[in-house]
Amino acid sequence: MTRTEIANQEEHLFAVLSGRRFLQMEGLSNEVPFFIYPYDPEDALAVAESKKRIKNRLANKGVVVREVNLYDLSVEILKARGVWDRLIALEPEQDKADFMKPLQNLLDPETKIAPAIRAKLADGDFDIFFLTGIGEVFPYIRSHNVLNNLQSVVTSKPMLMFFPGDYKQSDSMGSSLVLFNLLTDDQYYRAKDIRQQEA
């Protein structure tokens, strides 16, 4: 995207996220309050800067954002389990597939990631939940698994997932998350593309 396109998307995002309709989750008709902001992976740094500006602007309007970065959360979980240093030492000398299996168990979306996110959101003292770090945790955590397991965790506030890739939506084929615009993660149909929401 060009700088102008990123700036335009930033303005649109801010307008949507700061709007009463979004904050009060109007028009969802009993659907989960999940939104996805897909972006070109090449624009990751520009999007990260844009996200910071949006959070600051929202804070100035009294809208509190709680952000959870999946990579940071993963490191936190592994350190709490006392396995972080051992994994760092093992990683260079172990086969990737052999290394990934225990990592996936340690960071299972249902039993580890979702409860850890629930704990971070437990006070409810926020208006919007940002989920970031999706690309950094691939392939040991898959975004559609996280979303599926958050459906019972994030219910009372809207969630926006920043997704480095494409969110393809089709009436005939369903919806799918295409990570890095290369890897179809899996079908996930319950989220809405934030770019298509009205301010």
Confidence of residue 63 (pLDDT cuts 50, 70, 90): very high
Q: What does the angle CA 38 – CA 161 – CA 130 come to, to the nearest 5 degrees?
A: 135
Q: Phi/psi at 186 (nearest 5 deg)?
A: 170, 170
pLDDT (0 to 100) of residue 176: 76
pLDDT (0 to 100) of residue 96: 87
pLDDT (0 to 100) of residue 31: 78
Mean pLDDT of the chain: 90
> Which pair of structure tokens corresponds to residue 176?
């799918």
CB 17 within 8 A of CB 58: yes
CB 8 within 8 A of CB 170: no
pTM of the model: 0.92
Instruction: Verify cis geometry, omega within 30 degrees of 0, for the bond prior to 139.
Output: yes
pLDDT (0 to 100) of residue 170: 63
pLDDT (0 to 100) of residue 123: 92
